[in-house]
Chains A and B, each alone.
Chain A
Amino acid sequence: MDIYSEKGKKRLIKRYTPKTKLFKTSILAFIFGGTICALGEALRILFVNLGLEDKLAVTLVSLSFVAIASVLTVIGLFDRIARHAGAGTLVPITGFSNSVTSEAMDSASEGYVLGVGSKIFTVAGPVLLYGTAAGVVYGIVYFIAKLIEGGAVR
């Protein structure tokens, strides 16, 4: 590209200026993601105050958001929120749940075995595969480290 021509200059300017959009999407991601996690924390505090064990409370918070995101996806509200929230709804477990539900809904017309049954894992599959694989790698390292450290694994 000839950066000294008028056209080249304009293209350069265009290439390096969409920072206002970047700023806006980041702020929105922060607000939506932060709000979801704040609501999650409030729910966890509520569960603990109701007498639940802390570990169970954390699990139930995650399950609640999986359920909420799925319902919002069914009624069409999730996509509307996600359009503004971007990564703000993607990164919390709501994004995982939304992908599972929306893929399942969209593939119902393709049948329940190879349609829903396989498409439901379009995004969930990679997440589970690499999460599980990473867990196994960690497990092997941890197991060997324990062997070297103390003879028998406790």
Chain B
Amino acid sequence: MNDITAILLAALGGGILCVIAQLLLDLTSLTPARILVGYVVLGVFLYAVGIYDPLFEIFGEGVSLPLIGFGAVIGRGVREAIIESGAIGIVTGGLTASAAGITVALLFGLLASLITKGKPKRL
């Protein structure tokens, strides 16, 4: 697969996932938070049943960047931790694997609150 094809496939995969979420927002009473939760759990499920990796081979960041990719990171972390260290991996794998994303998001959030404190909210 050349680079251009990979980029177009990523756009296609990510676009489709966003349209599904948009339709859920428009047609149902689901809130954005519920959709994000649904996508993460779906990501864990897709990884668990072995569908995520083939999808990643095709769409790359098109499935990795949407929040199902975050769920898949958790699923893979659990699986690898169990293989590595047995039953303890059930409770260590998920958060260990997703630590980078969580830490960076929280850190940037904290910094944002520190540097914008007192400033009026801009929209």
Name the one of B27, B94, B106 contacting A132, with C-beta atoms under 8 angstroms. Answer: B94
Residues of B within 8 A of A65 (CB): 65
Residues of B with C-beta under 8 A to A35: 11
How many residues belonging to B are interface residues under a CB distance threshold of 8 Å? Answer: 81
Q: Is the CB–CB distance between A139 and B91 below 8 Å?
A: yes
- Of residues 46 through 98 on chain B, the ones whose CB sits less than 8 Å from some CB of chain A are 47-48, 59-62, 64-67, 69-71, 74-75, 77-79, 81-83, 86-87, 89-91, 93-95, 98
Contact B116 A91 (CB under 8 A): no
Contact across chains for B113 and A108 when beta carbons are under 8 A apart: yes
Q: Is A16 an interface residue (CB 8 A)?
A: no
Kindly list chain B residues whose C-beta atoms are within 8 Å of the C-beta of A74: 112, 115-116
Bitwise interface map of A from 96 to 135 toward B, beta carbon under 8 Å scored 1, else 0:
1101110111111100100010001011101110111011
Q: Are A59 and B121 neighbours in the complex by a CB distance under 8 Å?
A: no
Count residues on chain A whose CB falls below 8 Å from chain B CBs.
81
In the complex, the chain B residue whose C-beta lies closest to that of A82 is B32
What 15 new A-B contacts, CB under 8 Å, besides A36-B65, A143-B82? A29-B18, A30-B15, A30-B18, A34-B11, A37-B65, A41-B6, A41-B62, A42-B3, A58-B64, A127-B36, A127-B40, A130-B37, A136-B90, A138-B47, A142-B78
Q: Which chain A residues have a beta carbon within 8 Å of chain B's beta carbons?
A: 21-22, 25-26, 28-38, 40-45, 58-59, 61-63, 65-67, 70-71, 73-76, 79-80, 86-88, 90-93, 95-97, 99-101, 103-109, 112, 116, 120, 122-124, 126-128, 130-132, 134-136, 138-143, 146, 153-154
Show the binding face of B for A, using Cβ within 8 Å.
Answer: 3, 6-19, 21-27, 32-33, 35-37, 39-41, 43-45, 47-48, 59-62, 64-67, 69-71, 74-75, 77-79, 81-83, 86-87, 89-91, 93-95, 98, 100-102, 104-106, 108-110, 112-117, 121-123
